[in-house]
Homo-oligomer: A and B are copies of this chain.
Amino acid sequence: MEVPFKSLITIQPTHPLPIYVQITNAFIQQIQQGMLKKGTPLLGSRSMAKLLEVNRQTVVAAYQELQSQGWIESFPRKGCFVAQHLPTVKPKPLPTEIVATAALRPADALPNFPIHLPVFISQQWAFNDGLPDVRLAPREELARLYAHYIRYGEPALLQYVSVLGNNRFRENLAQHLNQTRGLSVSAAQIISTRGSQMGIYLVAAALIQAQDTVVVGQWSYAASTLTFQHFGATIETIPVDDEGLQVEELAVICSKKRIKAVYVTSHHYHPTTVTLKPERRIRLLQLAELYGFFIIEDDYDYDYHYANKPVLPLASADTAGWVIYVGSFTKKIAPTFRVGYVVATEKLITELGKIRRIIDRQGDTLLENCLADMLLDGTLKRYTHKTLKIYQTRRDFTSRVLQEEAQAWIQHQIPDGGMAIWARFDPDIPLKNLATKVAQRGLYLSDGQAYQPLNACRMGFASMNLPELETALHILIDTLKKF
């Protein structure tokens, strides 16, 4: 039977790969897939060239290539054959689905991962989880600096650097944190990360092993809880009220079992936005020292505090190294600029660096270098100052409208900080239904399923300007009226 070379070996003349390479690759695939069996004679280069409608030299080059790779053999006066010493491949696909499923570690499957991510928001207006308005980001400054370092940065800046991050960035950041948050740390106590999420991941990877207990609030930031669970942690929850985590409930748990860590968004509690009160802060630190657990303090939006000045983080009062402080520039500038950091004892930072080594080797040196400049020259300070005022206006507007026009359905307290209002809805208005209804009118609102049975959700106000907020609130309130 004649081999249908013409149909087996297809050529795309407009393809960027040279024709002879296309022919070579096509032969290899056919041999590997068992369509061309060992010993199959190939046409002479002249005939093959005619058949494939290419230059003869192209076929000669392909045959030479195939021979050099051991796929075909050439015998004088006989011609070329598919090599004898290649085993025949049986193209019998295994049931991939089943096998791949069986091979996966169930714990990694995270099958019910709650997706409240802005990328899935297709609506024109959105009360998201509390994201910045990327239209305000210092794009010109970043573009200028980034391009400068790509073009003119020392070669060392493009090479591998420390797993702990760009040294200049860490030094400037240490100074910045000491100046603005009452910390007293050096660069050696800082590792740069890709946003606060990697900070939480690294800390969890270093600290948590299966069956360790991690305590979080009754309602807490879902992605961090999932991260702890991924590493096998048992999660215990304690109630949250208007003063933050009910720390005395933690004392009760500690008196009964050993816990590894407490996760807390002390400044603007996620999701309810309240600030952990001073007494509870001190008590939390006392308990950490007494029972020997770590406090993972996630202070992702420290800078956005509207009432007086930000409250100093727990880390500023920690003298024993139990507080692991996680921060980020991502919520401040834009999600795409993923730079965060962890501040802890030098020993723990070293361990985090070892794990970092095998995750992604190092951070974005160039971006870190840009941020170092922007910390130094005041750009970030001015940017924070500007956006703080803008976000405060947006908060006030949103809160006022909710107060004046939606009080019948929505209860809220104006938050001291952050980029979201914690909105508690009347039980007669099931959030899931409401979210569906407003989505049809172009407005995203969380369905609140993450905070069951509260019928409450976060309403991010920062990423819409006043006209957008006006429209969004109008859609919401109009829908409520017709509910």
Enumerate chain A interface residues (CB-CB to B < 8 A).
15-17, 21, 24-25, 28-29, 32-33, 64-65, 68-71, 83, 85-87, 89-94, 96-97, 99-101, 103-105, 107-110, 113, 117-119, 131, 134-135, 137, 139-140, 142-144, 146-148, 150-151, 155, 157-162, 179-180, 182, 193-195, 197-198, 200-201, 205-209, 223, 226-227, 230, 260, 277-279, 282-283, 285-286, 289, 292, 294, 307-309, 311-312, 316-317, 319-322, 334-338, 345, 347-348, 351, 354-355, 357-362, 364-366, 378, 381
Contacts and interface: CB of A to CB of B under 8 A. Distances in A.
A158 B279 contact: no
B282 A360 contact: no
Given A21-B309, A100-B345, A311-B69, A357 B223 contact: yes
Contact of A282 (B32, B147, B358): B32
A335 to B, nearest CB: 5
B108 A195 contact: no
A109 B357 CA distance: 12
A108 B355 contact: yes
Nearest to A199: B360
Contact of A159 (B100, B105, B292, B334): B334
B364 A364 contact: yes
B17 A118 contact: no
Contacts of A85: 279
Nearest to A333: B158
A227 B358 contact: yes
A102 to B, nearest CB: 8
Contact of A146 (B99, B146, B286): B146
Contacts of A29: 182, 312, 316-317
A440 B334 CA distance: 47
Contacts of A147: 143-144, 146-147
Tally of this chain's copies = 2
Contact of A336 (B32, B87, B159): B159
Contacts of A68: 307-308
Given A94-B322, A105-B208, 11 more contacts: A25-B182, A65-B309, A68-B307, A89-B317, A90-B286, A94-B289, A108-B351, A118-B159, A197-B360, A227-B358, A360-B360
Contacts of A354: 108-110, 113
Contacts of A292: 94, 99, 103
A319 B94 CA distance: 9
Given A135-B155, A159-B119, A201 B360 contact: yes
Contacts of A207: 103-105
